[in-house]
Amino acid sequence: MANLASGIYAAGLAVLATLAGSPVGFAQEANYDEAKVPKFRLPDLLKTESGEQVTTPEQWVGQRRAEVLGLFEEHVFGKLPEGDFQLRTRVRSDVRDAIGGLAHRREVTVFLTADDDGPKLELLIYTPVGGTGKVPAFLGLNFNGNQAIEADPRLHLTESWVRNNRELGIENNRASEATRGSEASRWAVEKIVKAGYGLVTLYYGDIDPDFDDGFKNGIHAFLRKSAGPRTGNEGGSISAWAWGLSRVLDVLQTDSEIDASRVAVFGHSRLGKTSLWAGAMDERFAMVIANNSGCGGAALSKRAFGETVGRINRVFPHWFCVNHSKYNENEQALPLDHHMLVALAAPRPVYVTSAVEDEWADPRGEFLGLYYAGPVYTLFGREPLPSDVMPELNQPVMTDMAYHIRTGKHDVTDYDWEQFLKFADKHLR
The helix (H) or strand (E) run that includes residue 24 is helix 24-29
Other beta carbons less than 10 A from residue 284's beta carbon: 15
- Spell out the residues 6+ positions from residue 51 whose beta carbon is closer than 8 angstroms to its own: none
Phi/psi region, residue 306 (left: phi>0; alpha: psi -120 to 50; beta: rest), is left
Candidates 86, 104, 88; CA nearest to 200 is 104
Q: Is 188 helix (H, G, I), strand (E, B) or coil?
A: coil
Cβ contact 261:135 at 8 Å: no
| Catalytic (active site) residue 268 | no
Question: Cα 426 vs. chain centroid, distance in angstroms?
Answer: 21
Cβ contact 282:62 at 8 Å: no
d(C-alpha 279, C-alpha 275), whole Å: 6
Candidates 117, 263, 153, 282; CA nearest to 201 is 263
Selected catalytic residue, list 269, 293, 301, 354: 269
| Catalytic (active site) residue 226 | no
Long-range contacts from 211-217, C-beta under 8 angstroms, 24+ separation: 211/161, 211/318, 212/316, 212/317, 212/318, 213/318, 215/318, 217/161
Cβ contact 88:151 at 8 Å: no
**Sign of the dihedral through C-alpha 157, 159, 165, 169:** positive
CA-to-CA dists, residue 421 to 188, 231, 333, 412, angstroms? 10, 41, 39, 14
Selected catalytic residue, list 75, 338, 339, 410: 410
d(C-alpha 20, C-alpha 128), whole Å: 35
Cis, peptide link before residue 335, omega less than 30° from 0: no
Phi/psi region, residue 381 (left: phi>0; alpha: psi -120 to 50; beta: rest), is left
**Which residues participate in catalysis according to the annotation?**
269, 410
